[in-house]
Structure 1
Amino acid sequence: KAYLQLDYLRQNLSQIISHSDIWLSILGISIFWGMSQTLLVAFPAHFKMLTGSDNAAMANLILSTSILGLIVGSFLAGSMSKRHIALGLIPFGSIGMFGALAWLMLAQTKLAMAVSIWSFGFFGGLFIIPLNSAIQYFAPPAHEGRILSGSNFFQNIAMLGMLVLSSVLIYAGANLQMLFAFMSLALLILSIYTIVIVPHLFARLLIYPILKTKYALSVEGLENIPQSGGVLLIGNHISWIDWLVLQIASPRAIKFVIYRKFYEFWYLKWFLRLFKVIPISEGASKQSLENIAQRLKNGEVVAIFGEGHISYNGQINTFAKGFERAVQDVDCAIVPFYLRGLWGSSFSRASKYYKELTQRRGRREIIVAFGKALPSTTSAEQARQAVIELSFIAWDVFLERQSPLMHNWLRNAKTNLFKTCAVDPLMGKTSNLKFITAVLIFIDLFKQSLGKQAHVGILLPNSTIASIVNMALFSMGKVPINLNYTLNEGVMAQVLEKSQARHVITSTAFLEKLQTKGFDYAQVLGDKALRLEDLRQRVEKASKIKALIFAFMPQ
């Protein structure tokens, strides 16, 4: 009975319309599929009018290119939406579809028609994928099935309605050029509307490809951002592009708080108004705080950089307390965030030397980490502590993704083979070339002496040769154990037993020097000792030449 009385349908529709993000997404998808049906019905007549041919197979073949375009566009949209929803593709896709239909009106050849039809499908893929993703993201889990069912209902109604309307117009002899012009105009209006609704996301889409040439972005803790309701994001401030990076990482539109003195610049004011930026005075004016509170009550996302200024040292400094007054009477979530990787970029306040040093590593890896939501009663110091905890998580993620130590060392050493990398009294200045050559020689020697044992002891002073031995063992996948040569013989024996090291790389000269200071390890080491003096005698001239040649070769 409830089904026949359309009670379920009304419940589904009310659930959809009550959520503006879901409703606008479904409306956009429905418009796309409705226009696709119009194109499907009208194109054969348009094809006949321009070519004078009744070849239905050719007309259908040209129409089928839209499917290929849709596949490519959908795949591209998916690849651009890893770990975030690329909502900025929506206006880009609608502008592209407008251009494709406008081109179709002017197309005079079969190839031009096929390209315009393919383009319509391609930009359609860019248009509908983020919309479908937005529906699934914003839909509450308990009502997701109902919302998806309602979405299909609207899409089918749009397709059926446009199919019937197009068929009637064509049967009545309507001007097909005018029909395509009307569709193009509708898409242009839709494009303008989406740009006005999500200007920051559209701008993000235009700027992000440029940033990707130098930056690689990843997001952690995205699930910690509530899908709806007021959210205050608070975190560290490292560079002039923090706002852009944060918006790229967030699936929800963010309203940023900015100092009024920047907001009042005449050449920025119109731009900042378009993006609905919230100006605030240095004293945290009452009006500004009320504005923030109202945005949060409206269910929007507001971002504040807790320190109130771009960092001068890359560290997390004291957080201002102004936000506490803004949220004291607001039921909202406070989500901490941490930006890692922007210190040392061209947009930060790092020193020139540090910027040059970090830029040698290639593309900079940026991590945006969102923490678990905090209550609105959270103090400035508690928020700061939450951001500090996030910094450890972000750095752990960063370190896990890094190449092994020896890979980074070799890559950096290869950039300048003749640069001095180590200095000590015994070997003097050692260049990268000499260091690499020595490491390769020791690898050959250790392969013969160490076999498959994993743990190897090292009893050498802090020196260039000790660094070379360590790097050689790391490169072989072994675990070097640098022994403390100030331990007494009994403790040293216990350390060797627990480390399970069957060999200890040392030096006769160093052992004799330690003996004069009261540390006699000769008996403790016994036959475990691999002395550098003995290893040196086994190095042949051919091995040195071979290692030198390999040191010159590209990595």
Structure 2
Amino acid sequence: MFAIAGVVNYLAVVFLNAFTDLGHKIIIQNTIFKVYDGTIQIILTAIVNSLMLLPFILMFSPAGFLADRFAKNIIMKYSSLLAVVITLIITYSYYQGWFFTAFAMTFLLALQSAIYGPAKYGYIKELVGVKFISAGNGAVQATTTAAILLGIIFYTALFETLLQDNFSTKEDILHIIAPLGWLLVLGSVVEFVLASKLPNKMVEESKREFRFKRYIMGAYLKKNIIMIKRKKEIFDSIIALGLFWAISQVVLAIFGEYAKSALGITNAVVVQGIMALAVIGIVFGSIVAANFSKYYINTALSAISAAGITLILFCIPFTTSVILLSIEFMLFGLFSGLFIVPLNSKIQYLSPNVHLGTILAGNNFVQTLFMFTFLIITTLFAYFSADAQILFYIMTFVGLYLSVMLFRRYFIMASWTLLEFIFKIRYRFRYIGLQNIPKDRAVMLVGNHVSWIDWFVVQLPIEKRINYMIDKDIYNWRVFNWIFKKAELIPISKKASKDSFYEASKRLKNGKIIAIFPEGEISRSSDVAKFYRGYEFIDKGGSVIVPFYIDGVFGSIFSRHKGDAKRCFLKKREIVVCFGEPISEEIKANELRDRVINCKTKLKG
């Protein structure tokens, strides 16, 4: 992916945009932290966050229109130029000691980001294509969070170094830290220069016109909401992301006051440092999410990570140790990265290019609406002097709802993903010829059988669930029978196979993927055994046969032959699967066996 022209430049632009936006917000939040306490501190922090969110609600329709109407690199270029002007005004406000002017300028910075956002995320799909969409989102999320982390550390450290104890009012603080404003300006200027060099990837320019009257009357809003609700999986993903960001905003808004009142932490570096660990976690989580979405967008990661986030939220109010809090925030970030990347990738993947900007702006709109609502609730709780711990418990219940919602949709995929986590501890998987498996028609996979985990090895890189044919005696095992039924396996026996063949034929006609091991049992040697003719009686309809050969499992603890050579326990075993070219015509068992052996020869050669 990094060999694609413009990728590195684009990630640098993404980094600088987040770094600059975060810099001003940190300066304002640290000023609030130093001057105010208790209820006022929570309220002002919530207002700052609200000012950062409100433009994403107001600019839903215009931002989506601009990202669909014009080339996305051009939008990023002029948004960066606007950021230069805004940071110059912010710097002037610092020198004048105008706290509330600087406070209000967070709104204009957010306005620039609201215009910038849909173009930035829509550009991923245009720049790297569908093939690298998960890796692209992982890289963007890791880059953004790395910018946030470095911004927190960089601006907080400089803030504390310049400030020390030489202040009595918020105006004094701004006078002292005013030189930091020039760093914001510098970041914006460099971002503009780099954005000007991004390649234009727009395939077809839209001819639509923006009518201000329709915008004011809410016609665009109504139309765009209908658009984002058109595909249920897109809308569900947007709602899930909205709930997640709402939870995150509440945690960020209340943690400063919670740390000060419950734990006695008054140093801004310590407070921001603990929260910064969440950002480190997001970087690692984004990388892991991209790795587990190597073959397809693994949305099951979002369900698993939602459960992890809920558990962390429940534990935080019971934690009094700074070290344990740091670990919890690191894990919160890790699960957050695993949550965000697949859902963002899925939204981009399922969105038609002509409406991509509008749908991504809608994603921002819904997320912001959730965050804004939750921040109002946070402010009300603070106004009535409610304990911050209560808000942590409420967020735990929201996280529980989010987990249930996602597990209901992705339960089967989540089960496979958990297995993938386990198996990847000891095994490294590599696949050859995946392009030979058609995505738009039924497929019968036929290959060698060397271990008890062949079903997992073959399924791993294929998003569509495979319906395996399994020995009826094994299928009827009391403990596992309900799992086999849930996995839609097809039981087969030597005495009564007619019904099994009929069921397999029916599923092929419905576009399913069927897998069968014609050897009839797990092999006791590395040779491909005789293929039985049973599969020949399956009516294949319009399907194709794809032969495959599994190599690397033979001799493992899951095979019948354990091998003689001793292996280092810490060294991962590499498992390779080769998929041969699809066969559309009828083929005899011995000929198909030869095709599987050819796959073996290709691997060994």
TM-score range, shorter chain: 0.5 to 0.7
Shift of 1:15: 6.9
Shift of 1:23: 6.5
Q: For 2:479, which of 254, 264, 267 is the aligned residue?
A: 267
Q: In the alignment, which residue of structure 2 is the partner of 1:180? A: 395
Does 1:161 find its partner at 2:373?
no
Say if 1:85 and 1:9 are closer, same or farther in 2 by CA, change over 3 A: closer
Shift of 1:27: 5.5
Shift of 1:367: 0.9
The residue type equivalent to 2:412 in the other structure is I
1:257 partner SS:
strand
- Alignment coverage as a number of residue pairs: 382
The residue type equivalent to 2:523 in the other structure is S
Does 1:391 find its partner at 2:600?
yes
Say if 1:255 and 1:11 are closer, same or farther in 2 by CA, change over 3 A: farther
Distance 2:239 2:516 in 1: 32
Distance 2:524 2:424 in 1: 28
Does 1:347 find its partner at 2:558?
yes
Q: For 2:337, which of 125, 140, 160 is the aligned residue?
A: 125
Shift of 1:294: 4.5
Deviations 1:384-403 (CA, angstroms, capped at 9, x unpaired): 4432332222222xxxxxxx
Distance 2:431 2:489 in 1: 24
Q: In the alignment, which residue of structure 2 is the partner of 1:369? A: 578
The residue type equivalent to 1:69 in the other structure is G
Q: In the alignment, which residue of structure 2 is the partner of 1:170? A: 378
Distance 1:332 1:154 in 2: 39
1:365 partner SS:
strand
Distance 1:205 1:92 in 2: 13
Say if 1:62 and 1:125 are closer, same or farther in 2 by CA, change over 3 A: same
Say if 1:188 and 1:280 are closer, same or farther in 2 by CA, change over 3 A: same
Q: In the alignment, which residue of structure 1 is the partner of 2:411? A: 196
Higher Rg: 1
1:267 partner SS:
coil
Does 1:224 find its partner at 2:224?
no
Say if 1:67 and 1:168 are closer, same or farther in 2 by CA, change over 3 A: same
2:555 partner SS:
coil
Q: Which has the higher helix share?
A: 2
Distance 1:178 1:370 in 2: 50
1:185 partner SS:
helix
Q: In the alignment, which residue of structure 2 is the partner of 1:207? A: 422
Distance 1:344 1:54 in 2: 59
RMSD (Å) for aligned C-alpha atoms: 3.9
Alignment TM-score, normalising by the size of structure 1: 0.58
1:128 partner SS:
helix
The residue type equivalent to 1:371 in the other structure is G
Say if 1:357 and 1:65 are closer, same or farther in 2 by CA, change over 3 A: closer
The residue type equivalent to 1:386 in the other structure is R
Alignment TM-score, normalising by the size of structure 2: 0.54
Does 1:145 find its partner at 2:371?
no
1:282 partner SS:
coil
8 Å contact from structure 2 (residues 247, 395) kept in 1: no
Distance 2:358 2:498 in 1: 43
Q: In the alignment, which residue of structure 2 is the partner of 1:502? A: none
The residue type equivalent to 1:335 in the other structure is V
Say if 1:260 and 1:365 are closer, same or farther in 2 by CA, change over 3 A: same
Q: For 1:235, which of 436, 440, 447 is the aligned residue?
A: 447
Say if 1:114 and 1:158 are closer, same or farther in 2 by CA, change over 3 A: farther
Say if 1:16 and 1:308 are closer, same or farther in 2 by CA, change over 3 A: farther
Shift of 1:346: 3.6
Say if 1:29 and 1:180 are closer, same or farther in 2 by CA, change over 3 A: closer
Deviations 1:348-369 (CA, angstroms, capped at 9, x unpaired): 344x6xx104859975432111
Distance 2:587 2:377 in 1: 62
Mean alpha-carbon deviation: is it higher for 271-280 or for 26-35?
26-35
Distance 1:325 1:124 in 2: 49
Q: In the alignment, which residue of structure 2 is the partner of 1:470? A: none
Q: Which has the higher strand share?
A: 1
Distance 2:374 2:283 in 1: 25
8 Å contact from structure 1 (residues 338, 390) kept in 2: yes
Q: In the alignment, which residue of structure 2 is the partner of 1:338? A: 549
Specify every segment of 5 or more residues in structure 2 that has no aligned partner in the other structure, as ranges. 1-207
Shift of 1:343: 2.8
Distance 1:226 1:72 in 2: 33
Say if 1:298 and 1:328 are closer, same or farther in 2 by CA, change over 3 A: closer
1:310 partner SS:
coil
Determine which structure has greater relative contact order: mean sequence separation of CA pairs < 8 Å that are 6+ residues apart, divided by chain length.
Answer: 2
Say if 1:172 and 1:24 are closer, same or farther in 2 by CA, change over 3 A: closer
Does 1:97 find its partner at 2:309?
yes
8 Å contact from structure 1 (residues 33, 158) kept in 2: no
1:172 partner SS:
helix
Shift of 1:166: 0.5
Say if 1:374 and 1:90 are closer, same or farther in 2 by CA, change over 3 A: farther
Distance 1:54 1:84 in 2: 46
Distance 1:34 1:381 in 2: 60
Distance 1:376 1:85 in 2: 32
Does 1:244 find its partner at 2:456?
yes
Say if 1:158 and 1:364 are closer, same or farther in 2 by CA, change over 3 A: same
Shift of 1:127: 2.9
Shift of 1:105: 3.2
Q: In the alignment, which residue of structure 1 is the partner of 2:102? A: none
8 Å contact from structure 2 (residues 274, 326) kept in 1: yes
Distance 1:108 1:258 in 2: 53
Q: For 2:262, which of 50, 58, 64 is the aligned residue?
A: 50
Q: In the alignment, which residue of structure 2 is the partner of 1:413? A: none
Distance 1:26 1:227 in 2: 26
Distance 1:227 1:45 in 2: 53
Say if 1:120 and 1:268 are closer, same or farther in 2 by CA, change over 3 A: same
Say if 1:42 and 1:363 are closer, same or farther in 2 by CA, change over 3 A: closer
Distance 1:13 1:375 in 2: 39
2:521 partner SS:
coil
Specify every segment of 5 or more residues in structure 1 that has no aligned partner in the other structure, as ranges. 397-555
Q: In the alignment, which residue of structure 1 is the partner of 2:33? A: none
Distance 2:467 2:235 in 1: 21
Deviations 1:244-302 (CA, angstroms, capped at 9, x unpaired): 22223434433322111101111222332343333223356444334434544554433
Identity %: 30
2:584 partner SS:
coil
Say if 1:376 and 1:170 are closer, same or farther in 2 by CA, change over 3 A: farther
Does 1:288 find its partner at 2:288?
no
8 Å contact from structure 1 (residues 34, 158) kept in 2: no
8 Å contact from structure 1 (residues 47, 59) kept in 2: yes
Q: In the alignment, which residue of structure 2 is the partner of 1:553? A: none
Deviations 1:442-481 (CA, angstroms, capped at 9, x unpaired): xxxxxxxxxxxxxxxxxxxxxxxxxxxxxxxxxxxxxxxx
The residue type equivalent to 2:398 in the other structure is M
